[in-house]
Structure 1
Amino acid sequence: MTYPYLTQFNGEGPIMPAMSTKPTPSRRTLLAAATATAAAPLLAGLATQDAFAAPAAASKDNWLTNTALYADPTVVEGTDYARRYRRHAMFDDDRGRRHDFARSVILAPHGGGIETGTSELCLAIAGYRPKDLAPTPDQGPAYDYWMFEGIRKKDNGKLHVTATHCDDHVARSLCAGSLNALSLHGCKPEQAGLPAGTPAVLVGGLNATLRSYLIAEFKAVGIRAQDATRIPALAGTDPDNIVNRTMLGEGAQLEITTSLRASMFQDNSATGRQEQQTDIFRNFVGAARAALQRLEAGQQIL
């Protein structure tokens, strides 16, 4: 089932909310959910990117944080970068029964031309067609999403801000209000000790259950997947990583090799990625959604 969204940032300002019947959970409901899920062990790790060698240390970024980038007058929103998000409206006015609520958010911290293909994957996994944001499939779930995108003609990699220093207010609020988060990143196979050109997805993050579901679902559709939590450059296990800033303090991070992302599009250009996805793209999206649905089905909300 899909729902009208509260706000969408379009590079100029928020759109006013539409009415919805999506319920809002109570404080007691959310606390019960949080205590019902055990936290995974904390392991050290960093996010990665296409433009720089691993690990993606903050010293290699031109801006330490997102807010520092936003405040820099030499980069212009709508010309150099863009921010997009959807937060689904939720409320519960029914005294007789409990209503469900959106539990997961999808993130692309390095979208657009920074780590190509991650914007389109973010939208599709959230339940929207990348070309025109039409809801798909007809019946949800449609997840909340947030992305930061490089939209320059070149040098988008210079806009990278490491995920552990992502302090975008919308991104943090969406994660803080969600039980689960899934982030999309791009990497090189060499960062995982794989031969150059290897199509693979490296699955990290602190949510061990979601990691295992993702790996199983990717393998089921013929996509090479492996746990990344012991690969420092790709682990995604730093508690400060934006994907782990959820209500439960854990999420899952997908590091997708360049060749795997390239195979998802018939035309690997900005326009082509929106319009011409391959079966590999669709299988990847279906597997990620299936893993999230398995996770949510096992999360008891009291």
Structure 2
Amino acid sequence: MILKRVCSFLSSTRLFACCCLITLIFAQSATAASVDIYRNFKELRSNTVENVDYEIETTVTDSDVIVIAIHGGKIEKGTTELAYALSSHNNYNYYSYTGLKSKGNSTLHITSEKFDEPTASEMVSKSKTTLSIHGCSGSEEFTYIGGLDTELGNKIKESLTKYGFTVLDPPKNMAGISPNNIANKNMSGRGVQLEISKGLRTQFLSSNNDKLKSYVLAISEAVNSIQ
């Protein structure tokens, strides 16, 4: 009887272990499936329709600063709106790659290191200062600041903090320190990447957009202090 109980326990343990292993495999597969569908913009353009699935918005000024939202529109909501507000307030150059699909806009995502849309690449290459606006998950209101332009990044951090915003050090995968990151492909070889939580971006899109105005003022103050 004791032997039967032991065997039964071992069988249950093996079954539990197998279930855990299967769950882990599926979790890893789900993670792997979340990577970008397209390796570059040429590949994306061959499989989508401009002005139906996405559109490209630009404003060209005589500024040496550019604000870009390469995951704009419905891809990372609120990033286009912030980039446009910031550029309009300061007469900066502006670029947004904007998702327009009724659903599934995440399929339009191309990571910063591989984002090579020609107009964006040309505009960034002619600019001395680049602000790349992104969205990240998180219901709380915070900003990760990354990029190779640590001098400007630190000034932006100080200014945002002064205006009452929370700034955190970015996780490694959002640090924006790769030379291949489009934010760092300007004339100086270093830009600033801002990852803004969903919670804060939701506030930007609310009918009372005081937070958006304050955020724009904070960043403007930092950028213009070094111009």
Both structures adopt the same fold (TM-score exceeding 0.5): yes
Which structure dedicates a bigger proportion of its chain to helix? 2
2:136 pairs with 177, 187, 192, which one?
187
**Matched letter for residue 106 of structure 2:** G
Does the residue aligned with 2:216 lie in a helix, a strand or coil?
helix
Unaligned stretches of 5+ in structure 2?
A: 1-30
Q: Between Structure 1 and Structure 2, whose CA radius of gyration is higher?
A: 2
Q: How does 1:191-210 map to 2 (within 5 A)?
A: 197-210=139-152
**Partner Cα distance (1:248, 1:201) in 2:** 24
Identity of paired residues, percent? Answer: 31
Kindly provide the CA deviation profile for residues 44-91 of structure 1, in whole angstroms up to 9, marking residues without a partner as x: xxxxxxxxxxxx99981111111211122xx21111111111222x5x
Kindly provide the CA deviation profile for residues 75-118 of structure 1, in whole angstroms up to 9, marking residues without a partner as x: 21111111111222x5xxxxxxxxxxx21100000000000000
Match of 2:223 in 1: 292
**Partner Cα distance (2:80, 2:200) in 1:** 15
**Partner Cα distance (1:263, 1:218) in 2:** 15
What is the Cα deviation at residue 227 of structure 1? Answer: 3.1
Tell me which stretches of 4 or more aligned residues in structure 1 moved more than 2 Å.
Answer: 56-59
8 Å CA contact 1:115, 1:186 repeated in 2? yes
Does the residue aligned with 2:157 lie in a helix, a strand or coil?
helix
Q: 1:59 to 1:144 in 2, by over 3 A?
A: same
**Matched letter for residue 77 of structure 2:** T
8 Å CA contact 1:119, 1:147 repeated in 2? yes
What is the Cα deviation at residue 212 of structure 1? Answer: 0.5
Alignment coverage as a number of residue pairs = 198
**Matched letter for residue 238 of structure 1:** S
Match of 1:192 in 2: none
Unaligned stretches of 5+ in structure 1?
A: 1-55, 91-101, 128-135, 190-196, 267-275, 297-302
Kindly provide the CA deviation profile for residues 229-255 of structure 1, in whole angstroms up to 9, marking residues without a partner as x: xx2121011100000001010000000
Instruction: Tell which has more relative contact order, 1 or 2 (C-alpha 8 A, sep 6+).
Output: 1
TM-score, normalization: structure 2?
A: 0.82
TM-score, normalization: structure 1?
A: 0.62
Kindly provide the CA deviation profile for residues 178-208 of structure 1, in whole angstroms up to 9, marking residues without a partner as x: 111001101124xxxxxxx221000000001
8 Å CA contact 1:104, 1:179 repeated in 2? yes
Q: How does 1:1-302 map to 2 (within 5 A)?
A: 60-72=35-47, 75-88=48-61, 90=62, 102-127=63-88, 136=89, 141-189=90-138, 197-228=139-170, 231-266=171-206, 276-296=207-227
Kindly provide the CA deviation profile for residues 160-189 of structure 1, in whole angstroms up to 9, marking residues without a partner as x: 000110111111111111111001101124
